[in-house]
Structure 1
C-alpha cells in the first residue's frame, strides 16, 4: 500500500493494526507465538501491529487461523481493502484504461447533493467541454502509456456531467485565474472552454468563482480537491488519488475552500476575467 501523508490513511492503517493486536492478545499469544504459528519472523508481527508494514490478505488469514478467529477474516480483509482504497496510485487506478477510472466515480457523484471543487491546474471535469476533456485525457494516456480507450473514457465523463442538470444539487466551483491561461488543447479548445464557463456560470445551481492573480493574496494556491457533501474529500496528487473521510480533515478542506472562496470574484467580475483570458487566444 502506497505511503501517504494523510492522517486519514494512517489512522485507518493503525485501526486495522490495533484490531489484529487485540485478536492476538485475546487468543493469549505473544508476538513470538503468533510469528511461529504463521511461519514468519517475530519482527513482522511487530511491524504489522505498529502499522509500519501493512498486512496482506494472506497475512490476515494466517493471523486469524493462528488465533482461532477465522470468523473475523471477512471483516478484516474488507477493512484492508478499504484502507488500500484510500490512496490509489494512478498506475493502479488506470491499469485497465481511463474509462474504468471515470465510471468508478459515478455512484459518488449520483449520491452527492452539495459539490465543492477547487482547481489550481485544470478546469474541473464537471464543467469541461468535450474538446477540452479530449485534450486532457489524450495527454494523460500518452504520458502514462495507458491503454488507448480515450473515446470510451470521454463518453463516460460526458455521461457523468448529467448530474449537473439533474436532481436537487448545488455546485460551487473555484479556479485559480492561471487555469484560464493553461493553453490546454490549443487556442481553439481554450476559447470554446472559456465560453462554456461563461454559460455554466449562469446556471441557477452553480456558483463559479475565479481567484485572481495578485501579489498580495492572503492564501496561496493548494492542490486541487473536491468535497462531496461533508462526508468525503478527494485530492488529485501527482502520484495518485487520495480519499479523505476523517471529519477533522474534511473540515480542514472545507475551511480552506471557504478561505479561497473569500478571495475569489464572481458574476460579472469573474466573467470579465474569463473574457480577458479568451482575448489572449485570439
Structure 2
C-alpha cells in the first residue's frame, strides 16, 4: 500500500488496525499467540495493530480465521481496499497509459453537480484547449517514461469537457495569476489558452476567477485541488493522486476555496489580467 502523510489516509489505516486489535482481544489471544496461529513473527502483529505496517487481504483473512471471526474478513478487506484507493501513486494510475487515467475519471465528473477547482500550477483540465492539453500530457508522458498514447488521452479529456454545457451543473474555477504567465507549450499555445479562458468564462454554468499576484495577500497559494459536490476532494501531489472523502477534510478544502475566492477577481477585472498576460506572451 502506498504511503501518504494525509491525515485521512492515516486515520483510515488506524481505524482498520484498531478493529483488528479488538478482534484479537475479543478472541482472548495475545499478539504472540495470534502470530503463532498465523505463522508469522510476533512483531508483525504489533506493526499491524499500530498501523505501522498495512495488512494485506491475505493477512486480514488469516487474522480473522485465527480469531474465529471469519465473518469479519469480508468487511475488513473492503475497508482495506478503500484505504488503498485514497492515495494512488502516479506510476500505478498511469501504468496502462494516460488515456485510461483520463477515462477513469469521467464518471465522477458526470455525477457531479457542483464542481470547484483551484490551481496554482496549470489551467484546470476542464477548461484547457486541445493544444494546451497536448503540451501538458506530452510533458508528463516524457517525464514519467509512459507509453505514448497522448493523442488518445487528449481526446478523452476533450470529451470530458461536454459536462460544461449540460444544464443543472455549476463550475467554479480559481487560478493563480502566475498560471496565466507560465510558458506551457510556448507562446502560441498560451495565447490560445488565455483567449479560451475568456470565452469559457462567459458560459452561464462557469465562473472563472483569477487570484492576483500581490505582496500582501491574506491566503497563500496551496496545492491544486478539485471539489466534487460535498462528497470528495482530489489533490494532485508530486508523488501521486489523493482522494479525500472524510467530511471534516472536505469541509477544510471547501473553506480554503472560499477564502481564495474572496481574493480573486472576476468579470472585467479577470479579463484584464488575462489580456495583460496575453500581451506579455506576445
| TM band (smaller chain) | over 0.9
Other-structure match for 2:153: 153
Distance in 1 between residues matched to 2:272 and 2:59, nearest whole Å: 59
Provide the secondary structure at the position in 1 that maps to 2:73.
helix
Instruction: Calculate the TM-score normalised by the size of structure 1.
Output: 0.97
Provide the secondary structure at the position in 1 that maps to 2:281.
coil
1:61-80 equivalence runs, <5 A:
61-80=61-80
Other-structure match for 1:115: 115
- Per-residue deviation, 1:278: 0.7
- Per-residue deviation, 1:218: 1.0
Distance in 2 between residues matched to 1:33 and 1:276, nearest whole Å: 70
1:136-151 equivalence runs, <5 A:
136-151=136-151
Other-structure match for 2:177: 177
* Residues 123-161 of structure 1: per-residue CA shift (max 9 Å, x gap): 000000111001000000000001111111111111111
Distance in 2 between residues matched to 1:25 and 1:102, nearest whole Å: 45
Other-structure match for 2:38: 38
Other-structure match for 2:210: 210
- Per-residue deviation, 1:50: 1.2
Other-structure match for 1:265: 265
Matched, 1:229 2:229: yes
Provide the secondary structure at the position in 2 that maps to 1:222.
coil
Other-structure match for 1:219: 219
Other-structure match for 1:57: 57
- Per-residue deviation, 1:23: 1.8
Distance in 1 between residues matched to 2:16 and 2:160, nearest whole Å: 34
Distance in 2 between residues matched to 1:188 and 1:6, nearest whole Å: 39
Distance in 2 between residues matched to 1:32 and 1:111, nearest whole Å: 48
Distance in 2 between residues matched to 1:135 and 1:114, nearest whole Å: 28
1:81-92 equivalence runs, <5 A:
81-92=81-92
Give me the CA root mean square deviation: 1.0
Other-structure match for 2:132: 132
Structure 2: where are the runs of 5+ without partners? none
- Per-residue deviation, 1:251: 1.1
Distance in 1 between residues matched to 2:167 and 2:63, nearest whole Å: 47
